[in-house]
Structure 1
């Protein structure tokens, strides 16, 4: 499959790499990173053909919100990857070291160089690199061999749905849903998704920017001939457009549960699960969760939405004030009731008690009586 998909992406990579004077062999890096899947997402949160993390993607000018993720845009992410690789090569003056830095970060490569006594070739510093990076460059070299000598081993590509030359682009200036395009061009929604992985909800947003839509070459003329009708199709139903959300990374704390995190940020638990590939309710302290917040309300949405205020149910023993747990209480709920009390303080006062162990009638220390 990967060999077949390369017929769609490699000509694009070569064009971009030529612009930045990047060796063409670097195109095989995308196979190591994502198996040429623009929708690939790692457990760490890296996304796209070139597996950009959120911060690095933003650093290289990629737009990331709940409707558009340019880390999944083959053209724009490849341009960003080329610029990043060029910068790494300029820093280390060695392509193998640049690859190692792409995988583990420049800081780890500099540290390995120091530990090796100042040596500046990959094989000399390899023992001092992180475990994953020690096999990263060999995997890249092996992929070069496989892609160039596959036929010698009776390995042949599966023909892709489209090659690079069978796809063309149009500029979209208004909000457009994929089903509007399907209705007038006959292109199945699945094909539009395959050709346009950038758009996360099958919507090209009408946000004042020009956006690119990829179509089969034979359908571009059909789209242009029906463009006005496509834009006005079901227009009455398109009046309400949800605000664009921006990606926010939340680090799970001890005592957190999905319901509390969702309520705190004004989103649904089902959305948290979908955004982070979570099955069930299991999360763990230190885990990073992707949350998409309304860009216009991002700063305020970190605060929990208003709801009916609970009155505290208190007791004390002369040394501590206690909260008597009510049905449905969580540590976060309890902390909100008392001024100056945080979930971390509750955990410290109560020997790490967690939400799963709270029972109605249970007494929880909330404050030391001074």
Structure 2
């Protein structure tokens, strides 16, 4: 969603439903200020009343189908409210909670959400959506849906914005995404844009909000298709093996379909649909079940599906991981809907994908080298190419004639940089470099682990996890040396020699 200008010099942004006002920053000025008067508070409240009336005006314009006029009214009211709230933070006697309430109404109306008794009548869209906004089940590719309209898909008849409470845990998670996790949020957004045409239709088909999909993806894997957790959860949406099987994610010709973004999104949407029914459309309990296990959540909740996740009877009994997980997903989803309201600008990404037919043999790693930072991608294209070709080993050279999926914008770049010239030659030279292999140390040095055992690599294994499984009596470097591994890379079905622990 594009940012909109804020008509205040410090560009202070009021955060929805109770985030701390930033207007206090102005109090650090050394210049003396006149003492505030009751008139100053009344002026701010007058601006508040005007913004509130603008909400009513925008509501009427929306119902009348004049979407453009309603949008202008909302934008003007939001800007006016932000400016007034900044002054409220430094004006004694001014109650910021009055501003929070109006701001919350305006932001939710901007979503297409109608609050309380303002639900449209029978003659209008029962969902509260205008006729100009596509909804799940309507024709049209997901990729053609304008960004500003992505949030409009309902969750069981409710706007997602109605279901996200701005309580302490969610606000704390918002701060984390905007500070320490900001880089992860941006990476997740870029990764998602290239996966969107495979993942979003699965959610759209179930009538689930796209923002929810993004929130889960950002928290679970950051959009890394091949992510594997220590507990064995795998794929962009981190399915455990047994749960994945229950929703149709299985080994397909040696490929674990948990790593397939489209299949993973389909399974996740089916899981969310199932558990939303179990928990009577309680989104927070459903997310807690996804993270902590539906069986445990059913036992904690019992028959009272209206109970809040933050009720001590629930919140106090789940793990710290689940306590963090639920608000983190909701916060990421909220930022996906309203980046401009949090001084956040997501990068513009053309996520349209295309295909190339290899003119010369190359691995994904080699293609990454020859593509370089084309199209202003400072981190290179390795992650994107891996995500778009989940069945391929990135180190395995693919033959001439093989087809790979790549961003559409790179099709021409491939033809220029990766078919002829110096870059593919350099890439192949680096990829085929020989790493020296040293003989095993003499028996006296290796006496503590002279006997060995064998282990067959399974799906989801990494060299580190294999070493830990077998007592941790050796190191990754030792096992890599014993098996002549290149860059500690292991493959499913590979038989490894391991030192025996004594």
The alignment status of 1:154 with 2:356, answered yes or no, reads no
Separation in structure 2 between the aligned mates of residue 99 and residue 149 of structure 1, nearest angstrom: 21
SS of residue matched to 1:263: strand
Mark the CA change 1:169 to 1:59 in structure 2 (over 3 Å): closer, same or farther.
Answer: farther
1:68, 1:200 within 8 Å by CA — same for their partners in 2? no
Matches within 5 A, 1:103-114: 103-114=291-302
Deviations 1:107-129 (A, max 9, x none): 01111023xxx311351452464
- Measure, in 2, the Cα distance between the counterparts of 1:216 and 1:264: 41
Whole-angstrom distance in 2 between the partners of 1:64 and 1:258: 35
**Whole-Å Cα distance in 2 between the matches of residues 149 and 83 of structure 1?**
26
Q: Distance in 1 between matches of 2:463 and 2:269?
A: 33
- Aligned CA distance change for structure 1 residues 155 and 61 (closer, same or farther; 3 Å): same
Contact 1:67 1:201 in 2 (8 A): no
- 1:192-213 alpha-carbon deviations (Å, 9 max, x no partner): 553223246226899xxxx983
Question: Cα offset for 1:47?
Answer: 2.2
Among candidates 325, 328, 334, match of residue 139 of structure 1: 328
Choose which of 455, 464, 469 in structure 2 pairs with 1:265: 455
Runs of 5+ unmatched residues, structure 2: 1-182, 374-379, 416-447, 475-489
- CA distance 1:122–1:137, shift in 2 (3 Å): farther
1:86 corresponds to: 273
Contact 1:71–1:77 (Cα < 8 Å) also in 2: yes
Tell me, what secondary structure is at the counterpart of 1:214? strand
CA distance in 1, matches of 2:297, 2:450: 40
Show the counterpart of 2:244.
57
The alignment yields a C-alpha RMSD, in angstroms, of 5.1
State which of 210, 219, 239 in structure 2 corresponds to 1:32. 219
Distance 1:15 1:75 in 2: 9
Residues 341-367 of structure 1: per-residue CA shift (max 9 Å, x gap): xxxxxxxxxxxxxx44xxxxxxxxxxx
CA separation in 2, counterparts of 1:26 and 1:220?
Answer: 32
Of residues 378, 395, 405, the one that matches 1:214 is 405
Task: Tell me by how many angstroms 1:98 deviates.
Answer: 1.7
Change (3 A) 1:16 1:92: same
After superposition, residues 186-335 of structure 1 pair within 5 angstroms as 186-187=370-371, 191-197=381-387, 198-199=390-391, 201-202=393-394, 213-220=404-411, 263-266=453-456, 273-274=463-464, 276=466, 282=472, 294=493
TM-fit CA distance, 1:177: 4.1
Q: 1:189-241 CA distances to partner (integer Å, 9 max, x unpaired)?
A: 962553223246226899xxxx98321214547989xxxxxxxxxxxxxxxxx
1:96 aligns with: 284
Structure-2-length-normalised TM-score: 0.40
TM-superposed deviation, 1:20: 1.8
Higher strand proportion = 1
Cα deviation 1:28-61 (Å, max 9, x = unaligned): 1222222333343322122232111223234333
TM-score (normalizing by structure 1): 0.52
Partner secondary structure for residue 405 of structure 2 = strand
Structure 1 position 100, deviation (Å): 1.5
1:16 equivalenced with 2:191 (yes/no): no
Instruction: Give the conservation status (yes or no) of the 8 Å contact 1:273–1:279.
Output: no
